[in-house]
Amino acid sequence: MEKSPMYYGSYLHLEKILDSQYPVSFETGNEPAHDEMLFIIIHQAYELWFKQILFELDYTMGVFQKESINDNSEDLNLVRHRLRRVIKILELLNQQVNVLDTMTPMDFLAFRNLLTPSSGFQSKQFRLIEAKLGLQIDNRHQKEYYKRTNEGGFTQPDYQDINQTESSKNLQQLINDWLERMPFFDAAYWDFETSETTIEHPFWKQYRAIYKAGLSEREIPKLQDFDYVFFETSSKDMNPEELNLLKSSFSVKAMRAALFIMLYRDFPVFQSSYQILDSLIEIDHLMSNWRHKHLIMVRRMIGMRVGTGNTSGAGYLEGALNKHYVYKDLSGLSTYLIERRKLPKLPESLTRFLGFNAQ
Ligand code: HEM
């Protein structure tokens, strides 16, 4: 049988997509609310983009699941490229809030009660994005909300899928493993016998001294933070709360490698690694920007009323905004940078291994 030529509408399955908007207020017996169509379409558009983000994150995680990755490989370059794509999508999703803002609070009230108890809170794909990026249940604001499978919570199958993703290795943990494998401080490249974990390693000894010399009097306590963040050594005058604030979701070994990449980012060999770390920081920022835009929109739309999903509404969203960062330890590395011109010169054996000529 002859195959029929490809047709735009059937290739895209538009018959399904464009036949998926059913405003409840348009049903018999209800007062049609014009803006409910926009409300449905905007959520559907978000969900489609969430699907694409998950597709890119799955690719990225697949690469980092490999036991070893060549820094100059195609894989790493594709990860870099696809994470940039996630960034562009998130920028678009932030813009999209402006379209919803054309709906007034009274327009929303016209159909709001018909939605209860459903809510964007139940977006499984949004939860999967957060979980894959590395947001863990224990670090979630009001974590008991997430365990609800009654009204306003998830269906059992959705809850199980989210749970399963949360208990699998996430991107943050995979990045941690990748950073831990970086061989920058191996004894073979330095005139130094013992392990790299000590602050006495020639690179860190020199770096710490330069960092210290660059601190102002008020900033001197940052040296203790440096010792804790990169070497897990704490002085007696640091209290448990301070230590808790400094505690990173990355291991100290991974943090040392990340700082090293940040410092020597201008060398071509570090470009892919640096841009991947930078993309993760940017994704974290854009997720947070979205949470903020959504919060402001919600405040304007429903004030201090509870959400249709039965959380405290704006109060809950504000808590999530403040807490749901995954890569703040990477953005926080700026605390420990030094001026470029003061960067320690790297030993020749290391630069040879890394494949560039440092001057
Ligand atoms: C009139 C517009 C909107 C209002 C009034 C609104 C309101 C709310 C409220 C009050 C919550 C907290 C949970 C609850 O109790 O319901 C929430 C959560 C959420 N909404 Fe919306 N929302 C709106 C539009 C959107 C859109 C367009 C999206 C796009 C997907 C969305 C996605 C989400 C997500 C993902 C959450 C969970 C956020 C988190 O846990 O950090 N919402 N929303």
SS3 content of the chain, % helix, strand, coil (to 5): 65, 0, 35
Peptide bond just before 117 cis, omega within 30 deg: yes
| Residue 154 confidence (pLDDT) above 90 | yes
Q: Is 261 left (phi over 0), alpha (psi -120 to 50) or beta?
A: alpha
pLDDT digits (tens, 9 = 90+) for 177-209: 999 999 898 888 887 776 667 788 999 999 999
* Ligand 1 atom 41: residue of nearest CA: 320
Distance 327 CA to ligand 1 centre (A): 23
pLDDT digits (tens, 9 = 90+) for 92-103: 999 999 999 999
| Residue 176 confidence (pLDDT) above 70 | yes
Q: Average pLDDT, stretch 268-290?
A: 95
Question: Which tokens is 238 given?
Answer: 């640091």
Question: Which tokens is 215 given?
Answer: 């601190």
Q: How large is the angle between the packed helices 105-115 and 271-302, nearest 10 degrees?
A: 90
Q: What is the pLDDT of residue 358?
A: 42
The finding on whether 325 has its CB within 6 A of some atom of ligand 1 is: no
| Residue 89 confidence (pLDDT) above 70 | yes
Q: Give the pTM.
A: 0.95
Q: What is the pLDDT of residue 196?
A: 66
**Sequence-separated (6 or more) residues with CB below 8 Å from residue 89:** 49, 52, 53
pLDDT averaged over every residue in the chain? 93
Q: What is the pLDDT of residue 192?
A: 74
The finding on whether 50 has its CB within 6 A of some atom of ligand 1 is: no
Report the C-alpha gap between 129 and 200 in whole angstroms. 40
The finding on whether 42 has its CB within 6 A of some atom of ligand 1 is: yes
Report the C-alpha gap between 284 and 289 in whole angstroms. 9
Q: Average pLDDT, stretch 78-89?
A: 97
pLDDT digits (tens, 9 = 90+) for 204-236: 999 999 999 999 999 999 999 999 999 999 887
pLDDT digits (tens, 9 = 90+) for 313-355: 999 999 999 999 999 999 999 999 999 999 999 998 888 888 7
pLDDT over 70 percentage in the chain: 97
Report the C-alpha gap between 76 and 312 in whole angstroms. 42
Q: Average pLDDT, stretch 142-168?
A: 91
Question: Which tokens is 195 given?
Answer: 């392990």
Cβ atoms of 101 and 299 within 8 Å: the answer is no
The finding on whether 111 has its CB within 6 A of some atom of ligand 1 is: no
Question: Which tokens is 106 given?
Answer: 């009274």
**Sequence-separated (6 or more) residues with CB below 8 Å from residue 94:** 286, 289, 290, 293
The finding on whether 301 has its CB within 6 A of some atom of ligand 1 is: yes
Where do the domains of the chain lie, and which CATH numbers do they carry?
30-169+268-324 (1.20.58.480)
**Sequence-separated (6 or more) residues with CB below 8 Å from residue 161:** 124, 128
| Lowest-confidence segment of 67-71, 79-83, 281-285 by average pLDDT | 67-71
The finding on whether 307 has its CB within 6 A of some atom of ligand 1 is: yes
Q: What is the pLDDT of residue 152?
A: 83
Report the C-alpha gap between 327 and 86 in whole angstroms. 15
* Ligand 1 atom 32: residue of nearest CA: 120
| Lowest-confidence segment of 47-56, 246-255, 348-357 by average pLDDT | 348-357
The finding on whether 53 has its CB within 6 A of some atom of ligand 1 is: no
Report the C-alpha gap between 299 and 304 in whole angstroms. 7
Q: What is the pLDDT of residue 69?
A: 80
